Each structure stands twice: as C-alpha cells, then as structure tokens.
Amino acid sequence: MAVVLVLWLLLGQATGDPCYDPGGRPRFCLPPVTQLASGPPASCPQACVLSQGTSPRALCNDSLILALGGTFLLTSVSLRFCTPGPPALVLSSAWAAGGPWKLLWRRPAWSGALGGPERVTFRPSPGPKSRVVASHLRVEVGGWTGLAAAGVRGRCQCHGHAARCAARAQPPRCRCRHHTTGPGCESCRPSHRDWPWRPATPRHPHPCLPCSCNQHARRCRFNSELFRLSGGRSGGVCERCRHHTAGRHCHYCQPGFWRDPSQPITSRKACKACRCHPIGAIGGACNQTSGQCSCKLGVTGATCNRCGPGYQQSRSPRMPCQRVPEATTPLVPTPGAHSSDPQCQNYCHLPDKSVHMSLSRFCQQDYVLRAQVLAAEAAGPAWRRLAVRVLAVYKQRPSQPVRPGGQDAWVPEADLACGCLRLLPGADYLLLGGAADGPAPARLVLHRHGLALPWRPRWARPLRRLQQEERAGGCRGLQPRTPRPGPAP
C-alpha cells in the first residue's frame, strides 16, 4: 500500500511540472492559452446598417483599441462583423498604450459588393520571427459594416520558463521555474547567476545555474567578462560573503582572519580571527594559511607575543624587543661566592674538572646538545628563562625530542645561585641532561643534575661517533637513570 502511494506521489510530481522531465531535468514549457480580451458588445451603428448599399458617404469607419491588461504572446485575433459585408481591415499591435503601433495585418475591402465573411481570424505564422508580443491591439474597420465583436487569445510571455501563469494579475505573473524570476521569468534568481539569462527553446531549456559560494552567500551577480575569460563556464561573483569569508566564491578569509585547515571551506567556522598581539604584531592581519601574524623586529611566536632569541623585552611599544647587549654579564654569581652557603652543600653534582665521555656515560644522559645561550631573564622567583639556539642534537630526549634552532630553556634560580651551572650569554655549551622530570616535560630544563661545559670544537667528532653507536643500538641496557621529580618551571 505504502509503495503504491509513494509511486503515485512520484508520478504526481513528475507529471505535475511540465517544466521538468520525469528525470528532473529542465525542459521548455509554456503556460496555457487563455482568452485575453473580448469586445465590443455589438458596436453596429444604426447608420452603418441603414447606409448599406446607398451612399458612399455613409460608409462606416470603426476603430477599437483593446487593452490586454499586460504583455502577452498572441495566438489569435478573431473579429466578427455586423453584416457579411466586405470590410477593409487594419490590425496593429503595441507594447504600451498609445503605441508606437506595429502593423500586423492589413486587408483591403473585399472586391465584390456583398458576400464577404462575417468572421475573420488572424493567426501569427509559427516561428520566432513572426511572434506577436503585445499589450494593446488596435482594430480599424472601414466599409459597409461595423465590428460586432473581437476576441483575443494568447498566453503569458514566460520565455519558456513557466507552465503556469496568473494572467489576470496586474501585471500578469508567470510561475517561474528553472531558477528564473520576474513577472515574465526574464531574469535569473539572485543565487543562480553563474550563466547569463536566456529564454528557453524547445531544443535547450537554458536554466539558470547556481553560483558556487561555498554556502557563505545567498546572492551573486553575473560578470560577462569573467564568463568570457572562463571560456563560457562560469561568470558568477558571490556577493556579501558571510562567516568572514571573501573572494569570488567566498573561498578565502577576510583580512584579519585565517583559514582553519581542520574545517571544510563550507563550514561556518572555516575562518578564524588572527589574534595578533597589539604591541608585538604589525597590524591585525595574519598569514591566511598559517595564522602567523607579522611580528616587529625581534618579536616571535604565532601571535607575536614574545621576544625571539637574542632579544629581550623593552618598554618601547615601537620596539618591544631589543637586542641583548653584546657585553655579556655572568648569569651566575662569581663562582664559589655562594657555594660555601650551607644550603649548597652537596647540592650540585659537580664532576671532576675533566669529563670523560664514554659510551656508557653518553647513554645515561637524558640528552646531549650543543647550544648557544643568547639571553636570560627572570621567570618568576624560582626560575630563569634562557633564550638558546640549539646547534646540534647528539642524543635525543626519548619522550620529548628537542628540535634544533631557537627556543627557550629553563634553569632553577637555586641551581644558578649555588653555581651548579655556569652560563654566559653569547657562549656555546655542550649541555648534558641529567634525568629529571618536571611536570612540564615538553620544556627544556637545565638543572643541577646536568652539566653545561664550554664548547670545544674538538669534541664534535667523538660525539658524532657516539651518536652513531647509539643509533646502531649501542645503548641497549644503558638507559638514563630513573627520572627524579623536579620542581615545576
């Protein structure tokens, strides 16, 4: 029962719209022919009838203008005369009241006195050239007779895009299909202007085609130049792109927004605000694909919110980061000054003066890096933040790999105060990481369990060899010592 009902509905849909074929493809369609105007009610003047066959001066000269109430495609004009006399006839049409009048049909008086037709019908010959589109008709009759009645039939001018029409509405309105609009379907709907509007023909329905606006705009306009440049494929330009999109197809983000790659372009969240730091960034615009703001000199970070390696924060909003002065200051108090402090007793794990780097020692390090210390600043009461540039990674941290290049490292103030680490800005160090885990394992932390040795170029080669041995599996069974909890940076 349900199947029968569904079939019936589908059939109803398919047969219900003559502008689409059963497969849903658009096709040429026409509204029905209707009676558009009729008149006049018996305008046979008495004199006309009386004068029949008597005096040439009493000939009738009847003229009638019919307003159709809109612009229509005429299919026939029927005229009935008062007598079967021989009328001379001039039929004209106009687009608007008052003309200009276009001659449709002229026929001279019937030769022979009587016996002409009581009724004549004018039909435009088929074909697009002889089509008659008119809002007003003028009938002029001369001869031995008057006009008894006139009837005009035609259909709404819907340009092949409608099968239904409100012919008596003012103005007559086609029920437009194929995504057209207007009283006579003479333009494309605002969302469907990718191609130029064209009237449908029996061979080609010329439907209006949608613009591709990625669901961010409801309107578009047709640009003939773009259409030409595309080789006749697409000419629509989306208007009023929403959700911070821009462009002909609303396919990229407005300035001040960037394209979130995790969202499809059709998503309302496809474009994200840039969030550039008001002081660190130059303007509020960021890279459309990466979200990177453009930073002032010395500033770094995606939003330009911190100073880069070798720069330190200043009070100037124009230059919020300034180059660290070349003259270096020790990061630690003079060696030994505090190490006599009782609190420092047995605090540092300072090795003998020379470090003998064997494979087993190498394997026990959490990491082995060559890095340059660029600058330092206090980061709270317990920590000092160093800007470092990692120049080489000989042994990688197992859990959180260290990347070469500029980054931050943290040192506990206490470890510096006791002289466990001696670091000077501008100098190169071999950094050995003793195992100790803080609660922020992603951070690079230097502390008293590690070592910072002023770099010697002659170390490079043996370290490379140790690195190769480790890669070849030489460290199996010689893991770093068990991590010890450390304070939080």
Contacts to ligand NAG by CB under 6 A: 61, 88, 90, 140-142, 287, 289-290
Closer residue to ligand NAG (CB): 141 or 324? 141
Q: Which residue shows structure tokens 């660190």? A: 280
Query: Measured between alpha carbons, how far is 209 from 207 in angstroms, rounded to an integer?
Result: 6
Please state the closest distance from residue 108 (CB atom) to ligand NAG, in A.
10
Q: Which residue shows structure tokens 């004209």? A: 92
b/e per residue 216-255 (b: at least 16 CB within 10 A): bbebbebbeeebeeeeeebbbbbeebebbbbebbbbbbbe
- Give the closest residue to 122 by CA, choosing from 68, 72, 74: 74
Closer residue to ligand NAG (CB): 89 or 423? 89
Please state the closest distance from residue 306 (CB atom) to ligand NAG, in A.
19
On the CB side of 447, CA atoms within 13 Å amount to 23
Backbone CA torsion sign across 442, 445, 449, 452: positive
Please state the closest distance from residue 279 (CB atom) to ligand NAG, in A.
21
Query: Measured between alpha carbons, how far is 241 from 256 in angstroms, rounded to an integer?
Result: 15
Closer residue to ligand NAG (CB): 86 or 172? 86
Tell me the DSSP string of 156-216.
E--TTBEEEEETTSSS-EEEE-TTEESTTS-EE-TT--SS------SS----------TTS
Closer residue to ligand NAG (CB): 84 or 483? 84
Beta bridge partners of 236: 222
Amino acid found at 478: L
Tell me the DSSP string of 382-410.
SEEEEEEEEEEEEE--SSSPPPSEEEEEE
Query: Measured between alpha carbons, how far is 180 from 438 in angstroms, rounded to an integer?
Result: 68
Return the H-helix or E-strand segment holding 414. Answer: helix 413-417
Closer residue to ligand NAG (CB): 89 or 167? 89
Closer residue to ligand NAG (CB): 148 or 371? 148
Asked if residue 293 lies in contact with residue 317, where contact means CB atoms within 8 angstroms, the answer is no
Return the H-helix or E-strand segment holding 364. Answer: helix 359-364
Local structure of residue 428 (DSSP, 8 states): E
Please state the closest distance from residue 299 (CB atom) to ligand NAG, in A.
16
Structure-block tokens of residue 311: 């720069």
Closer residue to ligand NAG (CB): 59 or 348? 59
- Give the closest residue to 316 by CA, choosing from 329, 328, 301, 298: 298
Please state the closest distance from residue 150 (CB atom) to ligand NAG, in A.
15
Please state the closest distance from residue 146 (CB atom) to ligand NAG, in A.
11
* Residue of closest CB approach to ligand NAG: 142
Closer residue to ligand NAG (CB): 13 or 61? 61
Please state the closest distance from residue 346 (CB atom) to ligand NAG, in A.
50
Closer residue to ligand NAG (CB): 130 or 289? 289
Please state the closest distance from residue 254 (CB atom) to ligand NAG, in A.
15
Please state the closest distance from residue 290 (CB atom) to ligand NAG, in A.
4
Please state the closest distance from residue 286 (CB atom) to ligand NAG, in A.
9
Q: Helix (H, G, I), strand (E, B), or coil: what is residue 143? A: strand
Closer residue to ligand NAG (CB): 90 or 120? 90
